Amino acid sequence: MASIFTRIINGEIPSYKVAEDDRYYAFLDISPMTKGHTLVVPKVEVDYLFDLDPQVLADMTVFAQKVANGIKAVMPCKRVGVAVLGMEVPHAHIHLVPISKESDLDFRKEKLKLSPEEFADIAKAIAENIK
């Protein structure tokens, strides 16, 4: 059975897409730690990030860098934090989280609740700032 991320990539489940190319897809996390929290996934379904082909992983990092720069351009933050956990969904992914302090990147804290309009506005703003 396809992972939830594969289903998102295939358009079977809606998402707030911020970037896409032929090999990668970036979309807003629907349970964000901060506004602009984005997931970057490869379109190939591999469970663990470090099991990806080395070139796919390297290119995914470059794709994530572009997305992170788009996030930083529109979200008030000092940095875009990066986390690789991969325990909750069996599909390799990178979390990009706008942060102003290290504690902003704490997966144990309560997640934000945003309206569909807020998600759509954030996704659009990030997408427009990816170069």
Give residue 33's pLDDT: 95
DSSP letter at 110? P
Please, which pLDDT band fits residue 110 given cuts at 50, 70 and 90?
very high
Identify any residues that bridge with 79 across adjacent strands, giving them in sequence order.
99
Tokens standing for residue 118 = 């807020």
Domains with residue ranges and CATH for the chain: 4-128 (3.30.428.10)
List C-alpha distances in Å: 68 to 59, 108, 121, 127: 14, 22, 17, 11
pLDDT tens digit sequence for 11-24:
999 999 999 999 99
